[in-house]
Amino acid sequence: MCCSGFLKVMMFIFNGGIFLAGACILGVGVWVKVDSSSLLGLLDNGEGTPSGLSQLVNVAYLLIAVGAVLLVIGFLGCCGAVKESRCMLLTFFSIVLIIFLIEVVGAVVLLVFKDLAKQVLDHLEDDVKESIKEEYGSNDRFTSLWNATMKEFKCCGYKNYTDFDGSTFNNVSGGDRYPVTCCNKTIDVCTTDNAHFSMIDGCFTMLLQLIEDNAVIIAGLALGIAALEVAAMVVSMVLYQNIGNKA
């Protein structure tokens, strides 16, 4: 009886962890989905979104789906333990096992995610720079997106301030004016000399760092979830066996 009670408590702990992890993953997926429109707007060169980038953005849907499933699993595991239902415990075990196998495949994908992201962003460099020259300062939506992104990440252009050379914004001032984010905060007017000595990093570096940081966080979270899932599967099978012995 004492052992059974302990196993139930363990099921609550494991499934509580799975439930919270699912909520976190769901939140990350929603965040990626909401913010993806801004990223696509920055990288859109007027010819549609590149297929490679579309595949990366679709990761948001995968995160949302996995998070939702983990929420259901956590709830199902707790109910199975409380009601001592062999059917619910077996269903719980089967679903967790399937999810665990999917996560193993997902972990392999995450290992190559950073390299894939870098390849996509490298390939887009010329197109994005051309878009900046053609649209920045003349297209209000495009200009606003870039200004908001550069302000948020404290970056300048795709690689550096020279990306704005030849843009409408730059030409209006005779080629000696850059966005204020391309210079240090203490500088009011961002000229060529000020931008050169400020050495503000490009948004390519910042975006890539953001992707890499999120990939590491998600991978670490996935490892934690995997450990909880293995423990939960073991405990659920022990409970399943004990309930069978009582019958």
Judge whether 204 and 121 are in contact, CB under 8 Å.
yes
Which class for 243: exposed (0-12), middle (13-18), buried (19 or more C-beta within 10 A)?
middle
Quickly state the pLDDT bin for 51 (edges 50, 70, 90).
Answer: very low
pLDDT digits (tens, 9 = 90+) for 73-99: 887 777 777 777 788 788 888 888 887
Question: Could you give the CA distance from residue 36 to residue 210 in angstroms, rounded to a whole number?
Answer: 13
Q: What are the φ/ψ torsions at residue 50 (nearest 5 degrees)?
A: -60, 140
pLDDT confidence band for 50 (50 / 70 / 90): very low
CA 103 to chain centre: 16
- What the block records as the tokens of 181 is 């984010």
Query: Is the distance from CB of 192 to CB of 178 less than 8 angstroms?
Result: yes
Place of tokens 């998600």: 218
Residue 164: per-residue pLDDT:
93
Contact 177, 137 (CB under 8 A): no
